[in-house]
Amino acid sequence: MEKIKERYDVLIAGTGVAGLACALHLPSDRRVLMLTKAAADESDSFLAQGGICVLRSPDDYQKYFEDTMRAGHYENDPAAVELMIRSSPAMIEELVGYGVRFARDESGMFRYTREGGHSVPRILFHGDVTGKEITSHLLAAVRALPNVQIAEGYELLDVIAADNVCFGGVVRENESGDVFPVYAAYSLLATGGVGGLWENSTNYRHLTGDALGIALKNGVRVEHIDYVQIHPTAFYSERHGRRFLISESVRGEGAVLLDKNGSRFCNELLPRDIVTSSIRLQMQKDGTEHVWLDMRPLGERTVKEHFPTIYRHCLDEGYDVLKDPVPVVPAQHYFMGGVKVDADGRTSMRRLYAAGETACNGVHGKNRLASNSLLESLIWAERAAADMCVRGFDEERSAPRPDLAAYAGYAEIKENYAKAIREEAEREAYCD
């Protein structure tokens, strides 16, 4: 790997859709460093199954807006929701331009699927691996850029800041434990969600809310740290580790939830938080560790064509979804809160941006509408890049040198970040 230099124009932490979309929209004469704790393709963006929402036609605007607001318990920022919806057709066009293939019918028109909380089908998909289809194309496009360097196995440990201005980050090479400064005119936090802090989560284990810990330590404004989404249907397993998701779109296509006696007990197409509550209540009543998801109503063709990965995973676990229901249980899935940003991804610290799941731009309110997250991550990341370009890449003054000795105790730093996140979540939940 090319050696990491001391100075770049832009430092991006995270190689999910948010980090990649930002890198793709920076000028080709600007030097960009992208860090990722793990391999570049180990991000939640690769795991997204269901799809990505789009405004199908101007007629759907009101309904799409209302569905997003209702799912978010009307705590969403209406201007942010409008911005996302209005930007969605252009974003999809752009993705298609990168080579992303969404499902189409015989006449070549997009096919749309549906998930909980959506009043009409408006989700574009690629089988049950939409995230992999989108993110692998973006990653390939970034890898082709000579001005962007991707450093795998490197972690952003802190920002370099003085007087509420960000000058870059303190970076750790995970293998050697070496810690060093990287200076940049702008930095973007795109480190994803918080699932790694939870025992049961559909997220990659290395996603531990690092940007939030860094923000809290440096007095950068955060919002709604207690707004965590639990997905109703992760595959139930007694094993530890990441939980396998069974996409909501299987319910959108007709799968039903059953109690221990094989009876339905809720409307499967209500927003996620409501379905999750119904499942928990049912498990309590039945004294069980899970409920059942019956995919048989979908029929063999839909299961094998639209959900091949889910079909195979369940088979590997000993369940043939064409013949039997599978055990499912709610698990931590998504984080609505985050580092507070404006419409251009700017945080409360100058020259520091945030995008993707780690940021809170107001789109999701208290509960995310399914398949809105890839979309908003992409849109805000691109807006952040555009804002950096408008402001220019000149540096205001010389950067302070961080005291690297202060970063010797890695485990302790991470523990402090996790503790600060939990305490802030508790404080906010108490104040709500």
Work out whether 382 is an interface residue with ligand FAD (CB under 6 A): no
Residue identified by tokens 């006696």 is 261
What counts of helices (H) and strands (E) characterise the chain? 12, 16
Least CB distance from residue 191 to ligand FAD, whole Å?
4
Asked if 149 touches ligand FAD (CB under 6 A), the answer is no
Cβ proximity to ligand FAD, 282 vs 332, nearer residue = 332
Part of the chain binding ligand FAD (CB under 6 A), chosen from 82-90, 96-104, 191-199, 384-392? 191-199
- Options 116, 252, 325, 356; binder of ligand FAD; rule CB under 6 A: 356
Asked if 23 is part of the footprint of ligand FAD (rule: CB under 6 A), the reply reads no
48 vs 418 by CB, closer to ligand FAD: 48
CB-nearer residue toward ligand FAD: 19 or 232:
19
Rounded Cα gap, residues 373 and 380, in angstroms = 11
Q: Are strands 222-223 and 179-189 parallel, antiparallel or unpaired?
A: unpaired
Residue 151 lies near ligand FAD (rule: CB under 6 A): no
Phi, psi of 8 (to 5 degrees): -135, 170
Taking phi over 0 as left and psi of -120 to 50 as alpha, with beta for the rest, 127 belongs to left
Of 31, 122, 242, 272, the catalytic one is 272
Closest distance to ligand FAD from the beta carbon of 372 (Å): 6
Can you tell me which of 37, 272, 340, 364 binds ligand FAD, judged by CB under 6 A?
A: 37
Beta bridge partners of 352: 187
The reply on whether position 155 binds ligand FAD by CB under 6 A is: yes
Interface with ligand FAD (CB under 6 A), residue from 371, 384, 388, 418: 371
Q: Which CB sits closer to ligand FAD, 241 or 396?
A: 241
Q: How far is the CB of 243 from ligand FAD (least distance, A)?
A: 8
Q: What character string, x for contact with ligand FAD (CB under 6 A) and - otherwise, covers 203-222?
A: x--xx--x------------
Q: Measuring CA to CA, which residue among 14, 3, 12, 16 is closest to residue 33?
A: 12
Residue 339 engages ligand FAD in binding (rule: CB under 6 A): no
Are 362 and 341 spatial neighbours (Cβ–Cβ below 8 Å)?
Answer: no
The contacts of residue 398 (CB under 8 Å, 6+ apart) are none
From the list 373, 380, 383, 424, which residue makes contact with ligand FAD (rule: CB under 6 A)?
373
* Nearer to ligand FAD (CB atom), residue 51 or residue 327: 51
What is the DSSP code string of 171-231? EEETTT--EEEEEEEEEEE-----GGGSSSBSS-TT---HHHHHHHHHT--EE-TT-EEEE
Question: Does 377 contact ligand FAD by CB under 6 A?
Answer: yes
Q: Shortest approach of ligand FAD to residue 107 CB, angstroms?
A: 25
With contact defined as beta carbons under 8 Å apart, do 234 and 330 qualify?
yes
**Angstrom distance (rounded) from CA 368 to CA 48:** 14
Q: Which tokens in the block code for residue 87?
A: 């930007």
User: Is 272 among the catalytic positions?
Assistant: yes
| Nearest alpha carbon to residue 293 among 309, 273, 316, 311 | 311
Residue 357 binding ligand FAD, by CB under 6 A? yes
16 binds ligand FAD (CB under 6 A): yes
Q: How far apart are the C-alpha atoms of 364 and 350, rounded to whole Å?
A: 24
Contact set with ligand FAD (CB under 6 A): 13-19, 35-38, 43-45, 47-52, 130-131, 155-156, 190-193, 202-203, 206-207, 210, 245, 334, 356-358, 371-374, 377
